[in-house]
């Protein structure tokens, strides 16, 4: 990554073509994110104030949620991420092209560094996998946010168990759910397994996401909320062709683009 003392920040931000999060980093300059999570904040049980709290954002990408915690008065915000997509959980049949495409968007985590500099933020980012979270290394946290990451884990419950190991307060887990399974099975926890060449593993129904959190040793504090995450300006619409409509993945991509990506939010505390 080019040192931040080089080209002017505004030029660097404008030059970064791929962003995950839509964030206003300079007056009137909003990054063209893959998702726009800004309207989501109000729909979540996200604490209005985090005054004096130690907070953790797991799988931060460009850092939107970590910066939001800081904006709400957190005493300290730590973010963790795995910057090299090769180290993510990939199904065996994945191709080098898929890994490279995600690597391009990730850009070695440069978006986070640019956003941190533009916002004058004190958030610290550590390269630590969720599976390796350890209170001996990072300490314990009063509030932990984990968003759109369980979907990418081969073992989401193991990941949540490690989150529990560093959580001494509240967890907010917001992750992808399968809307069809959520409609059919309202109480029974079930999940769709993808694992076809891309780092998409388990998409549970809402009851399944809740059960994953409980199975990892948390007590759920309120009924999970269904939310949809809106697309950002960095995304183009999937083609509306008979082929797209024929396949489940194609239909899901269309729904995600036009309606928002189906997620549920689970608020919990360690049992």
Ligand X SMILES: C[S@@+](CC[C@H](N)C(=O)[O-])C[C@H]1O[C@@H](n2cnc3c(N)ncnc32)[C@H](O)[C@@H]1O
CB closer to ligand X, 98 vs 129: 129
Q: What are φ and ψ of residue 30, in 5° steps?
A: -105, 130
CB closer to ligand X, 81 vs 178: 81
Place of tokens 């307060």: 169
Assess 37 for contact with ligand X (CB under 6 A): yes
Smallest distance, ligand X to C-beta of residue 33, A: 9
**Chain residue whose CB lies nearest ligand X:** 147
The 10-29 site mask, x for binding ligand X (CB under 6 A), equals ----------x---------
Smallest distance, ligand X to C-beta of residue 14, A: 22
Phi/psi-derived region of residue 28, left when phi > 0, alpha when psi is between -120 and 50, beta in every other case: left
CB closer to ligand X, 78 vs 82: 82
The span of 43-51, 146-154, 205-213, 252-260 binding ligand X (CB under 6 A) equals 146-154
Assess 59 for contact with ligand X (CB under 6 A): yes
Assess 82 for contact with ligand X (CB under 6 A): yes
CB closer to ligand X, 16 vs 185: 16
| Cβ neighbours for 75, distance < 8 A, ≥ 6 positions apart | 51, 52, 53, 54
CB closer to ligand X, 46 vs 218: 46
CB closer to ligand X, 129 vs 185: 129
The span of 11-19, 76-84, 163-171, 249-257 binding ligand X (CB under 6 A) equals 76-84
Smallest distance, ligand X to C-beta of residue 152, A: 5
CB closer to ligand X, 53 vs 162: 162
Assess 81 for contact with ligand X (CB under 6 A): yes
Using CB under 6 A, which of 148, 170, 182, 205 touches ligand X? 148
The span of 47-55, 56-64, 202-210, 242-250 binding ligand X (CB under 6 A) equals 56-64
Smallest distance, ligand X to C-beta of residue 241, A: 26
Assess 143 for contact with ligand X (CB under 6 A): no
> How many Å apart are CA 187 and CA 195, to the nearest integer?
25
Say how many CA atoms lie within 13 Å of 271 toward its Cβ. 10
Chain positions contacting ligand X, by CB under 6 A: 20, 37, 58-61, 64-65, 80-82, 88, 129-131, 147-149, 152
């Amino acid at each position: 990554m080019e040192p931040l003392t080089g080209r002017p920040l505004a030029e660097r931000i404008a030059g970064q073509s791929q962003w995950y999060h839509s964030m206003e980093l300079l007056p009137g300059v909003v990054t063209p994110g893959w998702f726009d999570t800004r309207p989501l904040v109000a729909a979540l049980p996200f604490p209005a104030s985090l005054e004096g709290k130690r907070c953790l954002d797991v799988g931060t990408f460009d850092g939107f949620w970590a910066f939001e915690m800081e904006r709400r008065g957190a005493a300290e915000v730590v973010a963790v991420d795995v910057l090299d997509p090769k180290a993510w959980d990939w199904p065996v049949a994945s191709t080098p092209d898929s890994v490279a495409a995600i690597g391009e968007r990730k850009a070695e985590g440069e978006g986070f560094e640019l956003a941190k500099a533009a916002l004058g933020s004190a958030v610290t980012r550590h390269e630590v996998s969720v599976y390796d979270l350890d209170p001996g290394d990072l300490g314990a946290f009063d509030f932990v946010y984990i968003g759109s990451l369980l979907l990418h884990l081969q073992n989401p419950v193991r990941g949540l168990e490690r989150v529990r190991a560093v959580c001494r307060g509240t967890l907010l887990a917001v992750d992808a759910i399968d809307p069809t399974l959520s409609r059919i099975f309202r109480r029974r926890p079930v999940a769709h397994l993808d694992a076809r060449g891309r780092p998409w593993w388990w998409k549970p129904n809402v009851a399944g996401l809740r059960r994953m959190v409980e199975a990892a040793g948390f007590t759920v504090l309120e009924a999970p909320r269904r939310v949809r995450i809106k697309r950002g300006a960095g995304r183009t619409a999937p083609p509306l062709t008979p082929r797209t409509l024929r396949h489940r993945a194609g239909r899901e991509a269309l729904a995600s683009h036009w309606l928002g990506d189906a997620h549920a939010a689970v608020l919990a505390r360690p049992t």
